Chains A and B, each alone.
Chain A
């Protein structure tokens, strides 16, 4: 038997090393964002970071684990709500913004036992029902006073510039941590198992994948991430009105960004988030026509470019800047025909 050494497994390539370096430099520049950007752009960038988180989370859930949810606004809303509650309870406001998603992540654990028993469309709608339920429950809280809402009053102890900069840095750090968490999870052995479940749950179980535990991991990560985006959004808006946060539009945005960028590719949804951000910045003031345009674009993409922008690029040019997969390389060409 020929030694296995003739064949080697490769994960990084030259393009991905260049990309990682470029991203590292970009992050370094972004770290000085509040000093470089004006006030408006700093706020907008904070929003972009929240969008990137949302897109990466929905993609991890639907694109990699096959769990299509239309109820991720539940966690988005709970993240903001938990931050309000923590701050109201006396926790330092920026600590509250960081702790809130972790609390929501823990709370999503018992929910996963029920939600992950549902399949396909049942799961999607079940999650929406859960989001509506959370919305109603949060409305009952005396602090929130129904749709009157409340606000993150503690933020006003900071001056506008300091607050803007802190919001930005927290959002940047949380985004980097969450996107890195998704990336390294998908690159791990568990990441391959997650994709196996997406493609055939039964076959995955039959080769030793613990289906429920593996799904739960990605479910909790996505819940935590969406909650973090909710907390970041709260930091920029400062007001908390339940119907704004528990709105299904957040999941619609996630779906738009993921579909346009490329469902099931790691880079795609990040590109999708940037595109969505630009579209919103340029056309956001157009009101209803803006929303119609978004819907039409998502429809056209799913009909004619179902793999999204990045999916097309990888299919056509084999580009993988941030690869989560595996390629075999054959040291000796004759080994290819050996059987």
Chain B
């Protein structure tokens, strides 16, 4: 599988605090990678650097062979890096359809008719078509999370960065999202997924990256990565399953 995303020597400092320290990360086409680690491990910061929400203090991000380290979130999205937010950020005064339509017309750069089709398709895939005319501010948590997915999907991504999309959901609700995310993988979208709920995550990813204190402490096939002494220590018997 060709490599789609490569991040080398990523460091992100906020004043004196180093959130991510010299991390190397890569993603192959159609690969699904999980990122786990305790709170404050630097997972979301790494995701934000990959998505272009802010520039890294040091290091480079290469996407599809081009250095995108300095390009912003909007431009990276247009290139094919989509994301969801840990706390959903719906456009509350707009309808569900309009939320997704902005993504299809701006992120995917589609003309009007194509953007309509892309939006409808994304909503259908995420099970939101029936509530497409509802104002986004009226949605519950599961639907807000679905909307994050539908919007990201409508931008026509090659890779999808998910930040705790399962957080706060019941097992049944999380299972619905797993079904959708698997479907996205089936369409050739590579996935990077930060998640605390391991049994949900492991239904999708084939590689696990374990972080602690801004560094990668272990990675590989999930079972092996989780058995790594450093990972066990980081979680300190808090029960990672």
For A28, what are the chain B residues with a Cβ–Cβ distance below 8 Å? none
For A1, what are the chain B residues with a Cβ–Cβ distance below 8 Å? 124
Cβ-defined partner of A328 (8 Å) among B85, B106, B120, B127: B120
For B91, what are the chain A residues with a Cβ–Cβ distance below 8 Å? 195-196, 198-200, 203-204
A193 on the B face (CB < 8 A): yes
Given A4-B120, A192-B101, A327-B133, is A208 in contact with B95 using a C-beta cutoff of 8 Å?
A: no
Report the Cα distance A192→B103, complex, angstroms.
10
Tell me the minimal C-beta distance from A231 to chain B in angstroms: 33
The reply to whether B85 and A325 form a contact with Cβ atoms under 8 Å apart is no
For A202, what are the chain B residues with a Cβ–Cβ distance below 8 Å? 53, 73, 85, 89
A14 on the B face (CB < 8 A): no
The reply to whether A208 and B74 form a contact with Cβ atoms under 8 Å apart is yes
Cβ-defined partner of A200 (8 Å) among B53, B78, B90, B97: B90
For A199, what are the chain B residues with a Cβ–Cβ distance below 8 Å? 90-94, 136
**Which one of A169-177, A269-277, A331-339 is at the interface?**
A331-339
The reply to whether B105 and A193 form a contact with Cβ atoms under 8 Å apart is yes
**Which one of B9-17, B110-118, B165-173, B231-239 is at the interface?**
B110-118
B107 on the A face (CB < 8 A): yes
Closest to B94 in A: A195
The reply to whether A206 and B124 form a contact with Cβ atoms under 8 Å apart is no
The reply to whether B112 and A207 form a contact with Cβ atoms under 8 Å apart is no
The reply to whether A189 and B107 form a contact with Cβ atoms under 8 Å apart is no
For A193, what are the chain B residues with a Cβ–Cβ distance below 8 Å? 102, 105-106
For B108, what are the chain A residues with a Cβ–Cβ distance below 8 Å? 208
Tell me the minimal C-beta distance from A4 to chain B in angstroms: 5
A261 on the B face (CB < 8 A): no
List which A317-337 residues lie within 8 A (CB) of chain B. 325-328, 335-337
The reply to whether A196 and B83 form a contact with Cβ atoms under 8 Å apart is no
Report the Cα distance A244→B136, complex, angstroms.
43
A18 on the B face (CB < 8 A): no
For A198, what are the chain B residues with a Cβ–Cβ distance below 8 Å? 91, 93
The reply to whether A207 and B107 form a contact with Cβ atoms under 8 Å apart is yes
Report the Cα distance A199→B101, complex, angstroms.
15
A91 on the B face (CB < 8 A): no
B190 on the A face (CB < 8 A): no
The reply to whether A337 and B98 form a contact with Cβ atoms under 8 Å apart is no
For B117, what are the chain A residues with a Cβ–Cβ distance below 8 Å? 4
The reply to whether B151 and A207 form a contact with Cβ atoms under 8 Å apart is yes
A143 on the B face (CB < 8 A): no
Tell me the minimal C-beta distance from B151 to chain A in angstroms: 5
For A101, what are the chain B residues with a Cβ–Cβ distance below 8 Å? none
Report the Cα distance A300→B74, complex, angstroms.
40
Query: B residues bordering A, Cβ < 8 Å?
Result: 51, 53, 72-75, 77-78, 82-83, 85, 89-95, 97-99, 101-103, 105-109, 112, 115-117, 120-121, 124, 127, 129-130, 132-133, 136, 151-152, 154-155
Query: A residues bordering B, Cβ < 8 Å?
Result: 1-2, 4, 7, 9, 189, 192-193, 195-196, 198-200, 202-211, 264, 325-328, 335-339
